[in-house]
Amino acid sequence: MPIPMASGYQRRLWRYIDAGHRRKLRRLLRRHRQALNLSETVGHKNRTPLHRSCARQDHRTAILLMKYGADPFLLDQRGDTALHVAARQAARKGGTVYEDLFVPLRNQCPSAMSIRNRDGKTPGDLLGQTEDKWCPQEMFEDGEMDLEAEREWNRKLLGECEDEYQETWWRYEEDFYTTSPDPETYEAWADRIAHEYSQKRRQTEDRHRQKPKNEPQKPVLKLRPLLEEEHLLYEKRARAKEEELKAAKRARYEEGCSQVFTTDSSHLLRYADVPWPCPTGTAEEMAAVALHGTDPSDKAAYRRFLRRQQALWHPDKFLQRCGTRLAEQDRHRILDTVTALSQAFNRLAEAAR
């Protein structure tokens, strides 16, 4: 029997994807995942929600859908996977779409790169070029190049922190809900600082024109030292935020393990229900999250912790504990990830000998 209001939830799913309401979509997925069909196809192109988000070039929504079990291997009317759609968008639009949409999806499901559509083309064939096609040319004077490169690097750093923050913060959003606006990005902050400096400089020049000539003038503030000082503070906050995110992931991971592995439950496990250390990361990134806070210099404790993780994620033991509870549509993907994670812990244990 279908769950009551399932059709209403499904309509909301499509509406949030089309409107780009990512926060509402995340809340809907978290509360009503079992009532949603992420494999549903609509329209004359027979596209899934993941196809639709890729067609809209909404990379964060695409990653969110995959986190909750959207299948990246489903085909639309043309035989395209979501990665085919992302490749078409990247080929049309250029570098930003390639870096923001295609590359993250390719990293999430690298095996989809080998799938051919009805025209016999893989996503790589549709892309047709390497990322060198979209590398920007030198467009700035020598005196401005270093500052712009530094600002670009920090925008990417903050973007990564914000993505990590959004992946974990929604689990606690009801306890710490706030109506304050989104945090200021580094780009917006740098523009604001430059604007404020320009205003202060004009005010200072006006005061100098009004003062007698024999009165000593105060030195005009320099923009570069001001930016450097604020930048150091910005980097310090970014590092602290990243550390908090890692600690929160480790705590969430341990809590999830205790709930899923140590309780006698017959609850069906989808891919998103398994307590992965880092749901959207590689096996090495998952292992790093699990090891966060463990001191490698304390070799005895470090090895004990690794042995516990090896036992926890050993494929045979995992099947003994959870084999009968795995959702059939996610079973293959879950076991592949368990095997990769087990091998990552085995490599770490071998290196610690």
* Domain region containing 41: 6-134
1 lies in some domain: no
196 lies in some domain: yes
Asked if 9 and 25 count as a contact pair (C-beta separation under 8 A), the reply is: no
Domain count, the chain: 3
Residues 13 and 77 in one domain: yes
Higher pLDDT, 266 or 213: 266
- The whole-number average pLDDT for the span 45-60 is 92
- Check residue 140 and give its pLDDT: 32
Minimum mean pLDDT range among 188-197, 198-207, 247-256 = 188-197
CA distance 309 to 85: 38
Going by pLDDT thresholds of 50, 70 and 90, the confidence category of residue 225 is: confident
Minimum mean pLDDT range among 2-11, 33-42, 286-295, 313-322 = 2-11
Q: Which of 109, 134, 159 is the last residue of a domain?
A: 134
28 lies in some domain: yes
- Check residue 10 and give its pLDDT: 92
- Check residue 95 and give its pLDDT: 67
Long-range contacts (CB closer than 8 Å, 24 or more residues apart) made by 113-120? 113/83, 115/73, 115/81, 115/83, 115/84, 116/79, 117/75, 117/78, 117/79, 117/80, 117/81, 117/84, 118/78, 118/79, 119/78, 119/79
Decide if pLDDT at 182 tops 60.
no
Note the pLDDT tens digit of each residue in 56-74. Answer: 999 889 999 988 988 899 9
Q: Is the pTM of this model over 0.75?
A: no
Contacts of 345 (CB under 8 A, 6+ apart): 287, 306, 309, 310, 313
Residues 41 and 102 in one domain: yes
Note the pLDDT tens digit of each residue in 268-281. Answer: 889 988 989 887 88
Residues 12 and 124 in one domain: yes
Minimum mean pLDDT range among 58-62, 106-110, 146-150, 188-192 = 146-150
Residues 303 and 204 in one domain: no
Note the pLDDT tens digit of each residue in 317-336. Answer: 999 888 888 999 999 999 99
CA distance 82 to 92: 16
256 lies in some domain: no
Residues 193 and 282 in one domain: no
Residue 68: closest CA among 102, 100, 108, 19: 108
Q: Which of 93, 110, 134 is the last residue of a domain?
A: 134
Decide if pLDDT at 213 tops 90.
no
Look up the CATH number of the domain holding residue 120.
1.25.40.20
Long-range contacts (CB closer than 8 Å, 24 or more residues apart) made by 247-253? 247/292, 247/293, 248/168, 249/168, 249/277, 249/278, 249/289, 249/292, 250/277, 250/289, 250/290, 250/292, 250/293, 252/168, 252/171, 253/277, 253/289, 253/290
∠ CA 167-324-263, rounded to 5°: 65
